[in-house]
Amino acid sequence: MGRFSIKTTIAIASLVFIWGISWAIYKMALAFTPPILFAGMRSLIGGVLLALCLLPTWKKINWRENWPKYCISAVLNTLFFYGIQTVGLVYLPGGLFSVLVYFQPILIGLFAWMWLGERMTWIKITGLTLGFLGIVSVSADGFTGQVSAIGVVLGLLTALTWALGVIYVKKESAKVDSLWMVAMQSLLGGAVLTVMGAGLENWSDIVWNTQYLIGLGYGSTFGVPIAIAIYFSLVNAGEASKVAAFTFLVPLIAVITGTIFMDEPITFTLLAGLLLIVVSIYLVNYQGKVKKSRQKAAQMTYES
């Protein structure tokens, strides 16, 4: 398996943790806010905060040349991904919805092979499949509540738009500054979602309590700008399918968080899922006897 630098390892661990605890935080906040307004506001505020931090490098925006790229990325990674995801959580139990969303690494592996020229081997295919089975096992105990056909469709669409968005950003990474890409897609997509929410939902339905403010604050800082910036940096520095495989750990973290803080039991399905996910990540990142020097050079891009 390929070795990662300490910096890359910390980045991956941080990303998995941030996304892992976000499911419970967003689910809690959604009880006190309309979904589209919530998705729009956390994306818009996150984009504003990141843009303010990047303001000294504003010339890197290069709006005249890059505005189509920003718009396409905003549609896929913010408008569709966050919008569909947030609405979908209303229709399905969190466990089932997370399984559908984390079909995304398999789609990324397929799309990266089709459009980015990444190698696709039987070992990698097996690893991605085992990872998805691990997600099913980890989330099996959460398959409770009413299962909605609309929710299932929204979950699969979330996975599809997320995968397409990641592949698009990876494909355009050499032409656009990655941090400004995150900022602009959050600003543009968040603004459209907020306007849509204002037209379809009522501001008065927002309950400005502690739970809602925690969800909005977390999403506007860690959940959107920080996590997405880390993820795109990792994807741009290495193979998209390998980085995506680590996101199989996100639902596992979500379940472990519930076990620690909500006294939920550790079950056989949880342990089985953990084993499958670990094996999956090993197989997807397995190098065998291929030209390791070339892969090591690709990994060094992020380290620098």
**Cα–Cα distance for residue pair 41/186, rounded to 1 Å:** 10
120-150: per-residue pLDDT in tens?
A: 888 888 888 888 888 777 666 655 555 677 8
**Cα–Cα distance for residue pair 226/291, rounded to 1 Å:** 33
Q: Please tell me the pTM assigned to this model.
A: 0.81
- Residue 268 zone, left/alpha/beta (φ > 0; ψ -120 to 50; rest): alpha
Long-range CB pairs of 199-202, under 8 A, 24+ apart, other chains included: 200/36, 201/34, 201/35, 201/36, 201/37, 202/34
pLDDT of residue 39: 94
Q: What tokens does 128 get?
A: 């991605």
Name, in order, each residue with C-beta under 8 angstroms of 26's C-beta and a sequence gap of 6 or more: 38, 86, 89, 215, 219, 223
Query: What 8-state DSSP symbol labels residue 289?
Result: T
**Helices 178-200 and 63-74 sit at what angle, rounded to 10 degrees?**
50
Alpha helices in the chain, H assignment, sequence order: 6-29, 35-54, 63-74, 81-91, 94-101, 104-111, 122-139, 149-171, 178-200, 210-218, 227-237, 240-245, 249-261, 268-284, 292-303
Whether the CB-CB separation of 175 and 66 falls below 8 Å is answered with yes
**Cα–Cα distance for residue pair 77/83, rounded to 1 Å:** 9
Task: Determine the residue type at 80.
Answer: F
Q: What tokens does 39 get?
A: 């998705």
Average confidence (pLDDT) per 10 residues, the chain, 304 residues: 74 90 85 95 96 95 96 96 87 71 85 87 85 77 64 88 94 92 96 96 96 96 93 85 81 71 64 77 64 49 50
pLDDT of residue 269: 73
| Residue-by-residue DSSP string for 34-57 | -HHHHHHHHHHHHHHHHHHHHGGG
**Cα–Cα distance for residue pair 128/160, rounded to 1 Å:** 16
Residue reference for tokens 């303010």: 52
Radius of gyration for the chain, computed over Cα atoms and rounded to the nearest angstrom = 19
For 1, 3, 25, 218, 287, the CA distances from 292, given in Å and listed in that order, are 10, 10, 41, 39, 7
Q: What tokens does 13 get?
A: 């661990």
How many Å separate Cα 133 from the centre of its chain? 19
